[in-house]
Structure 1
Amino acid sequence: MVKVYEVSKEADVSFKRQIADLFMGQLEPIAPSNSYDQLVKTINLALQKDSHAHIFVAEKDDTLVGAAFLNVALSIDKGGHYIWLNDLYVHKEHRNQGIAKKILLKVIYWAEQKEIKGIELETGINNDATKSLYNSLGFHDIISKRYGSMF
């Protein structure tokens, strides 16, 4: 059975490293050599008490098999808080079992309880499985061009 829950801001170092190990499965094919250290630092920042970031994990047989990393922000357009879903990841050995859907449903339920107005995210244009999941839960395409910069 898969258990999905929000990670406590008081999570210990060992658990934070388990989360980092899981997310490394997503990053390894594209990540520079210092990515693990950056990931641990980001998880630590996300779980600080004043952070607007949240992490949800899926656990199966005492093993982390999936996770969502998100930020709560304000939007003039939405008239309140919304979620930017940075990452939704399921370990490759546990895919096609409905785990990503369970995580996303938990995030949606949590957001509704907090009166959050919506969720936005980005996915690859050729990622048909992920787009199918999002569409099945009422998400729709937003046509835009996203820009970014690093400092």
Structure 2
Amino acid sequence: MQVYKVPTDTEQHVRNQIADLLMGQMDSIGMKDAYRFLQRAINLSLDSDSTAHIFVAETDEQIVGAAFLNIGISLEKGGYYVWLNDLYVNQQYRNRGIAKKLLLKIIYWAEHNDIKGIELETGVNNAATKALYNSLGFYDVISKRYGFRF
């Protein structure tokens, strides 16, 4: 298995593989018509001036896991931080350590790119995911997240 940050010059067929994979996550949250949104977000994140990044796990030339993140600036941290928007592994490949390998790659990359921290959100009842994050040193932050959509 290979885990890597997707380069900006990635070919369209690889971008489509990432979108195909992430449709599994979109389907699970009821966004069955999200494919064009995924393609647009992937293309925007791979622009050379984007602050978004995609990491993937690939086995046998098939992308089986992906993480999508954005770089922000934090007053509290006094510098850059990562907001981990999405982490998803194909259901057939779960419980093989793929999510952990993706997170370890992101942590390593962040440490070597002057990132001061990583933040994310997960469901309060998602015990397996919370256990994974806690095992890597993530800690609970109590807050209420709000959103607004145009």
The TM-score range, normalised by the shorter chain, is: over 0.9
Shift of the alpha carbon at 1:33? Answer: 4.4
Which runs of 5 or more residues in structure 2 are unaligned? none
Counterpart position of 2:126:
127
What does 1:48-87 correspond to in 2, within 5 Å? 48-87=47-86
Deviation at 1:97, TM superposition (A): 0.4
The alignment's TM-score, normalised by the length of structure 2, stands at: 0.97
SS of corresponding position for 2:115: coil
1:1-151 correspondence runs (5 A):
2-151=1-150
Q: What is the TM-score normalised by the length of structure 1?
A: 0.97
Matched residues in 1 for 2:30 and 2:101: separation?
27
2:58–2:64: 8 Å Cα contact kept in structure 1? yes
Partner SS for 1:118 = strand
Distance 2:119 2:32 in 1: 29
- Contact 2:26 2:32 (8 Å CA) reproduced: no
Q: Which runs of 5+ in 1 are unaligned?
A: none
Distance (Å, rounded) in 2 between the aligned partners of 1:128 and 1:19: 26
Q: For residue 41 of structure 1, what is the amino acid of its counterpart?
A: R
Letter of the 1:138 counterpart: G
Root mean square deviation, CA, Å: 0.8
User: How much does 1:115 deviate?
Assistant: 1.5
- Residue range with higher mean Cα deviation, 135-144 or 26-35: 26-35
Query: Compared with structure 1, are the counterparts of its residues 10 and 121 closer, same or farther at alpha carbon in structure 2 (3 Å cutoff)?
Result: same
Give 1:30 deviation, angstroms: 2.7
Task: Indicate conservation of the 8 Å contact 2:3/2:56, yes or no.
Answer: yes
Question: For residues 71 and 27 of structure 1, what CA distance do their matches in structure 2 show?
Answer: 19
Question: How far apart, in 1, do the equivalents of 2:31 and 2:2 lie?
Answer: 32
Cα gap change, 1:133/1:32 in structure 2, threshold over 3 Å: closer, same or farther? closer
Percent of counterpart pairs with the same letter?
61
Q: How many residues align?
A: 150
Report how far residue 29 of structure 1 moved: 2.9
Deviating above 2 A after TM superposition, structure 1's stretches of 4 or more consecutive aligned residues are 29-34
